[in-house]
Amino acid sequence: MIQLPLFAAMASSTTGYRMPGFVDAARRVFDTPAPSRRAGPDTSREAARALDSAVGRLRMDALRHVVNAGDGGSTFDSWRAARGHQSSQSGRFSELADAGLIEATDRRRPTVAGHMARVFVATQAGREAAR
C-alpha cells in the first residue's frame, strides 16, 4: 500500500467509498510503522522494526485511554501506569497528537516521579476513530 500524507483532502477506502480525509487519516495512523531515528544506531532501527507489528494496537490503546478519560483528559504517565508500558511508548501520544486525534490542553498533572505532565483530551476525530 502506498503511504499517503496523513491529511489528504480526500481518500478512497479499499471499498471505493470516498470519505473525508481526516477520517481516513485517523484510520491510517494505526497502520503506520513506528518511526526510528534514521541516523540513529542500528539498535534503534531494529527496535522500531520489532515494534511495527504492535504499534497500531498501542496507538489505539492510547487513544481509547484518552477518550475514556473524557473531559478530564489523561497524561502519558497515567496511560503508561495503567497499562504497564515502558516509557519508550511516549511516541504514541505524539503520533496521535500529530494526527489530530488528541490534543494537549493548558492543564498539567504531576507524574509518579513528581514532574508536571501535559494533559491530553481526545478531539472529535479521535472519539470517532476510537469507536
Each residue of 63-98: pLDDT tens digit? 999 999 999 999 999 998 888 766 667 788 999 999
Fold annotation for 29-129: Arc Repressor Mutant, subunit A (1.10.10)
Long-range contacts of 41-50 (CB under 8 A, 24+ apart): 47/88
What secondary structure letter does DSSP report for 114?
S
Domain ranges in the chain are 29-129
Q: How far, rounded to the nearest angstrom, does the alpha carbon of residue 34 sit from its chain's CA centroid?
A: 10
Write down the residue that cell numbers 508500558 correspond to. Answer: 85
Q: How many CB atoms lie within 10 A of CB 111?
A: 15
Asked if pLDDT for residue 12 goes beyond 50, the answer is: no
* pLDDT at residue number 127: 96
Range of lowest pLDDT (7-11, 18-22, 29-33, 93-97): 7-11
Q: Is residue 109 predicted with pLDDT exceeding 80? A: yes
pLDDT at 104 over 60: yes
